Amino acid sequence: MPSDADDVLRQTVAELVAGGCAWAGIFFVEDGALVLGPSAGAEDEPRRSAVTVTWKGDRVAELAVDGDVDQARLEQIAAEIADLCLVGWDTGGEAWEP
């Protein structure tokens, strides 16, 4: 299992595609806008669904997939990767450990 946050996020989207999604990507919240980060596969936007990734109640990213994926599974993955999606986020002086 990779230990670097970027590697883990890249592996996450790759595994979603390997599991049957046409495309998977993580959009990070940067200055209030969503910016595409790691992604894998070929986009099929009409089939897109997404879940919000939150860290301590704040929206930090969005996990999106093009294809059929169980919504509960997507929400579980979003919760698992939340700490890894703190791109440019101020943790309020709290120690950050993924």
The predicted-structure confidence for 13-53, as pLDDT tens digits, reads as follows 999 999 999 999 999 998 889 999 999 999 999 999 999 99
Number of domains in the chain: 1
Share of the chain above pLDDT 70, in %: 85
In a domain, residue 90? The reply is no
Closest CA to 40 of 73, 72, 18, 62: 18
B/e letters for 28-44, b = 16+ CB within 10 Å, e = fewer, are bbeeeeeeebbbbbeee
Domain that holds residue 34: 5-85
In a domain, residue 93? The reply is no
In a domain, residue 91? The reply is no
CATH of the domain at 79: 3.30.450.40
Provide the pLDDT for residue 32. Answer: 85
Burial of 78 (0-12, 13-18, 19+ CB in 10 A): buried
In a domain, residue 97? The reply is no
**Integer Cα distance of 3 and 7 in angstroms:** 7
